[in-house]
Structure formats: C-alpha cells, structure tokens
Structure 1
Amino acid sequence: MMDGSTPNFKTWNILYPVYMNSKKTIAEGRRIPFSKACENPTALEIGDCCGHLKIPFAIEIDKAYPRDYMQVGRVRVNLKRPDGTLNNPLIANKKQLMIRIAELVPRHPGRVKKQEAASSTSNAAAAPSKSGKGGRKKR
C-alpha cells in the first residue's frame, strides 16, 4: 500500500466491476449511467486506475458480486485519509470515482493491446465465413 501503517480495510468502500459494466442493466447491478459506463472492466483494471488517480486500493481476488458470483474480484478503495481530508481532491464520493474509473478503463494499457489483437484477427476470420448450417438438404 501507499503508507507504512496497516490500514483498516473493513472501513474502505467496495467497488465491484459490475458497478461500471455497460453490458449490465441497473437491475443487474450497474450503478452509473450507461453512457458513462465501460465494457466488461476487471478488478485488476479498476485497481490500476485507482493507482493512477492516487487513491489507496486493495484488490480482493477471492470475492465475488453476490448477484453475479461467476465474475470474481472486487476492489476496496479509501477515499479519505484518517484526518478526513480527501486522498484525491477531485474525487469526493464513490459515484464520482466510478465515473472516473469508467473513463480510464478503455485506455488501460492491457486493454489497448487486446483490442488491437482482436481487431486484426477478427478481420482475417470474418472473410471466409458463410451463413447456414452447411451440409446437404434432405429430400
């Protein structure tokens, strides 16, 4: 962590990737507007973005969102220092933090490489595809 003392993680805010996922509905757990959400963020990407924003964080890989327990990982974040001042003066609450993270995740270095690899392979694979089940028709 950033400071030498052992902080009390139990009092920190929890961010699940579902909160910022544009593929999810509000009923499924998304907490920010669809227009501001990003596509399928991971706990590691969220943690990296918190580090970029100079906010103390801890990634918990062994935890999962109760409504979607197949997606594992959550991030604990500490918005305020022990004296009550904000760690990042530009981010006053959890919702602002989620919106900032959702803006940063698409530009995440690991994600940029994945998108470039996917776009180059999808163009090559899309050319020979044909529709239909294939095979001969039965009489």
Structure 2
Amino acid sequence: MAKRPTTSWREDIAEEAEELAAGTLDPESACMAALFPEALLVATDTVLDSFDAELPGLDGAEDAQVFAAVERVVLALNAVDSSHGGDGYATMEREQLCDYIDEALTEHGVDVPALTSRHGLGRYQLTDRWRDW
C-alpha cells in the first residue's frame, strides 16, 4: 500500500520531538514542526482522502477519467500549497506527493507508464500539466 507523505512527515515530527525531549537534538536545529504545521498536514490529508475515495473506480477507466482524477488532486494540492504562501511543499515533498499519486493509481489497476506514454508524456510527467507546487 502506498505510504502517504503526511504519514512520513508526522513520523519525522515525532522523531524530532523525541530527540528534543531526550536532549540529543539542539533546539536551534529543530525544524520539522515548522516545516509541517498541523494545518498543512490536515489539509493535505483531506485532499488525499478525496483522491483515495476515487481510486477504486479507476481500474479499467478511460484515460480521461484517470487524468480528471489526477487533475482534481493536483489542483487541490495547489490550493493547499498556495494557502501556505506557496511554501507548503518543497522539492522532497513534491516528489513524495507525485510518487504517492503514481503508486496509488498503480495499486488500483492503472498502468501509469502506458497511460502517460499514450499521451506523449514520460511516466513522471503525470502531474506536470496542472502542478504549481
């Protein structure tokens, strides 16, 4: 099962908090809670919940339906990023979100390489048309 980026981000926050509590991390070096405020995590999970709810209906779907689902999730993530000053998702987070979308589609029967190839795209260009982050 594809691991949500927000799960990893929460784990990183918890690990850093444990290190701070144990005194093994200098407080000036702590950054995870600032990078991933709860509002960003909740908003991102809400978007991914909606995307996940669509996935079962995409096995065997027409390309247009799959692209429409990708467009919806990407535009919603654009809105989340924008609501956080355009700084919600840095490079690593962008890659994790794109990987999640790809893996989740694949797990639900979508052949992402074939889909993108049919439309003259590389596999990792699936979200590029709509992505601002």
The two structures have a TM-score, normalised by structure 1, of 0.24
Greater relative CO, 1 or 2 (CA 8 Å, sep 6+): 2
The two structures have a TM-score, normalised by structure 2, of 0.24
Indicate the structure with greater helix content: 2
